[in-house]
Amino acid sequence: MSSSSSSSSSPPCPKKMITLKSSDGETFEIEEIAALQSKTLENMIDENCASTPIPLPNVKGKILAKVVEFCTKHAEAGADAETLRAWDAEFVGVEHAIVFDYILAANFLEIPTLLDLACESVAEMIKGKTPDEIRKFFNINNAFSPEEEEDVRRQNQWAFE
Amino acid sequence: MEPGRADEVGSSSPSGSGVSTSQLTEDGAIRVDDRCPKQVSPIRGGGSRNTSPLSRAGSRNTSPSRQKVIKTKPRGLDEETAATFSKIVHPDVQMEDNIWAMLPEDLLNEILARVPPFMIFRLRSVCRRWNSILQDSSFLKFHSQVPSHGPCLLTFWKNSQTPQCSVFSLPLKTWYRIPFNFLPPWAFWLIGSSGGLVCFSGLDGLTFKTLVCNPLTQTWRTLPSMHYNQQRQLIMVVDRTDRSFKVIATSDIYGDKSLPTEVYDSKLDIWSLHQIMPAVNLCSSKMAFCDSTLYLETLSPLGLMLFRLDRGLWEHIPAKFPRSLLDGYLVAGTQKRLFLVGRIGLYSTLQSMRIWELDHGKNTWVEISRMPPKYFRALFRLSAERFECFGQDNLICFTSWNQGKGLIYDVDKKVWSWIAGCALQSYNSQICFYEPRFDASIN
């Protein structure tokens, strides 16, 4: 019987650990299978760059710890969809600054599930806000003149009712 | 066939490609005035879409013990936000306001792509840049990749001149009166909707015309005329991956049956002629489209008439209908699933509404669900009650205008529930499922 796959990327070893190093020098271990949630890390593993700690200069330790937690949770086999959703909801139920960091980290590490989750949570925040509150939230200068603003508002009035 | 019938049912049922159909109801029109108390139950968005943990409706963990300990003062939530998502409170601290300003534009677009499409219109009054968000290609790209918003209902009613169009979002439990002023005066029948596009037909003088529009972008165009100027039974089929759509025109139960079937292809922008539907006795003009096939019910020979879109040919299969079937609505589900919906039993006390699914291998209808008596009683006070039935993505909707309410059966979850927050607004509206999409192109 021939040996198992001989393609360039070997199947992930269940217990193989990858080491990640945050921007502030902390190291974290993550199972390879969990690391594959990140396309960035997946590429590095494929190219066999994963033997030494992978430096992630864009992610600080506090956030990397949470990202590892997220990926590990999502890599668990047999997770009940409902339970996972609840876990996810709790994961993003944190201060804005942290959600912001999740978005940046998920983008940098190309973790679609985390990016989705974090962006969705911000979208939820925006949903209930008035235009004025949104301007404050995003620190946007209102570049409309009062007439322009009135015009735009009128055109889109149906969405406010 | 007169143009005056305003009680056509539009239904849309996208499978891999999307579908919408126009149907005629044949139930009597007895009005009943008493109302049942509305049951409020959240509806989960259909199928495998919208798996966000913070989805606005459906099962959520709202137990207080799950809240994080919040050190800063929570921002007060208004009624709408409290009702629409879980009780997680996001603290708004003054000093944090600046962090979002540092978000790269791409990531801002990722966030905005996840705001419900209807609410994007509110965002346009924030600033100039956001006002032109609908032209931003990065936003549109992300929007096209994000899971669908969830099932919406589009209702259309034409009273002499002005079209009244409203969209009900099931996830948001809200009605939106999207402006439909762009519709030409001849647009009279709602054919259906699929993949974000909506199809109308009507008679412009003596010419039978069809148009396709995207209500969100307010874009529309009239399709070229068919080869034969005849009022036809239409169905629109959208292929989102291909970014194209087709419209199939067949003869309806009253119309001239000697005309060839015509198919419009948006990529070629022409109608092509295909086989004439063989002479059969149609049960009704109700149609459903799935798996590249159009299905109609026939009385003699008993069974289903199929139009294979890729071949342009008709064939008949002798799928026998259940005995004592009173009405037979064909509803397409996802992939190859085809459902038959209707009442069994002549006597009102013994009637039940049932749903069957076609076993394609054996060409038989297999019962998959029955409407629980409490819902049946609430919807159908009299045996000849007018109701409409249509479906999309394995959701089957029942609306009874007389009761002003809608009921949904989720085939995958096997759950019956009232559509919460949806007081159906007028009699004689045409209705179909609708998926709000900015990226649905009319070309």
Report DSSP letters for B314-368, one per residue. EEEE--PPPTTB---EEEE-STT-EEEEEEE-SSGGG-EEEEEEEETTTTEEEEE
Q: How far apart are CA B348 and CA B383, in angstroms?
A: 5
Q: pLDDT 10s per residue in chain B (443 long)?
A: 333 333 333 344 333 333 444 433 333 333 333 333 333 333 333 333 434 443 333 333 444 444 444 334 333 334 343 344 444 444 444 444 578 878 888 999 999 999 999 999 988 888 888 888 888 889 999 999 988 888 999 999 877 677 888 899 999 888 898 888 899 999 999 999 999 999 999 999 999 999 999 999 999 999 999 999 988 899 999 998 889 999 999 987 777 888 999 999 999 999 999 999 988 888 877 899 999 999 999 887 889 999 999 999 999 999 988 888 888 899 999 989 999 999 888 776 678 899 999 999 999 999 999 999 999 888 877 655 678 899 999 999 998 766 677 899 999 999 999 987 776 666 667 899 999 999 899 98
Give the DSSP H or E segment for A72: helix A61-75
Q: Which residues of A touch B92 (CB under 8 A)?
A: 96, 137
| pTM for the structure as a whole | 0.76
Q: Look-up: residue for tokens 């409309």?
A: A144
B413 contacts chain A (CB < 8 A): no
According to the model, what pLDDT value does residue B404 have? 73
Whether B107 and A103 lie within 8 Å, measured CB to CB: yes
Locate the chain B residue with the closest alpha carbon to A115. Answer: B110
- Among B11, B3, B4, which Cα is nearest to B399's? B11
According to the model, what pLDDT value does residue B382 have? 63
Whether A128 and B84 lie within 8 Å, measured CB to CB: yes
Q: Is residue B122 classed as helix, strand or coil in its secondary structure?
A: helix
B114 contacts chain A (CB < 8 A): yes
Q: How far apart are CA B421 and CA B425, in angstroms?
A: 11
Q: Give A116's pLDDT tier (boundaries 50, 70, 90).
A: very high
**Phi, psi angles (nearest 5°) of residue B106:** -60, -45
Locate the chain B residue with the closest alpha carbon to A156. Answer: B121
Supply B111's token pair. Answer: 């966030």
According to the model, what pLDDT value does residue A13 have? 56
Q: How far apart are CA B88 and CA A89, in angstroms?
A: 8
Q: How far apart are CA B101 and CA B370, in angstroms?
A: 53
Out of A97, A124, A158, the one facing B96 most closely (by C-beta) is A97
Query: With a CB-CB cutoff of 8 Å, which residues 172-201 of chain B face chain A?
Result: 176-179
Which amino acid does the sequence have at B11? S
Please report, for residues A13, A36, A141, B436, the alpha-carbon distance to residue A4 in angstroms, rounded to integers and kept in the order given.
13, 20, 60, 47
Q: How far apart are CA B91 and CA B417, in angstroms?
A: 34
Supply B232's token pair. Answer: 């036809």
Q: Look-up: residue for tokens 């609505």?
A: B329
- The strands making up B338-344's β-sheet, listed across from edge to edge, are B329-332, B338-344, B352-359, B364-370
Whether A139 and B112 lie within 8 Å, measured CB to CB: no
Q: Is the dihedral of CA B367, B373, B379, B383 positive or negative?
A: positive
Q: What is the pLDDT of residues A8-65, one digit of tens each?
A: 555 655 578 889 999 999 999 999 889 999 999 988 888 876 678 888 988 999 999 9
Which amino acid does the sequence have at B16? G
Q: What is the CA radius of gyration of chain B?
A: 23
According to the model, what pLDDT value does residue A10 have? 59
Q: Which residues of B touch A153 (CB under 8 A)?
A: 125
Whether A140 and B126 lie within 8 Å, measured CB to CB: yes
CA B131 from chain center: how many Å? 28
Give the residue-averaged pLDDT of A108-137.
91
Q: How far is A153 from chain B (nearest CA, A)?
A: 6
The distance in angstroms from the start CA to the end CA of chain A is 69
Whether B61 and A134 lie within 8 Å, measured CB to CB: no
* Adjacent-strand bridge partners of A18: A30
Q: Look-up: residue for tokens 């039935």?
A: B389
Q: Give A4's pLDDT tier (boundaries 50, 70, 90).
A: very low
Whether B78 and A128 lie within 8 Å, measured CB to CB: yes
- Asked whether the beta carbons of B328 and B354 are under 8 A apart, the reply is no
According to the model, what pLDDT value does residue B66 have? 40
Supply B427's token pair. Answer: 């009699």
Q: What angle do CA B335, B339, B344 make, to 5 degrees?
A: 170
According to the model, what pLDDT value does residue B317 have? 93
Residue B307 burial (10 A CB sphere; 0-12, 13-18, 19+): buried
Pairing of strands B260-265, B270-276: antiparallel
**Phi, psi angles (nearest 5°) of residue A28:** -135, 145
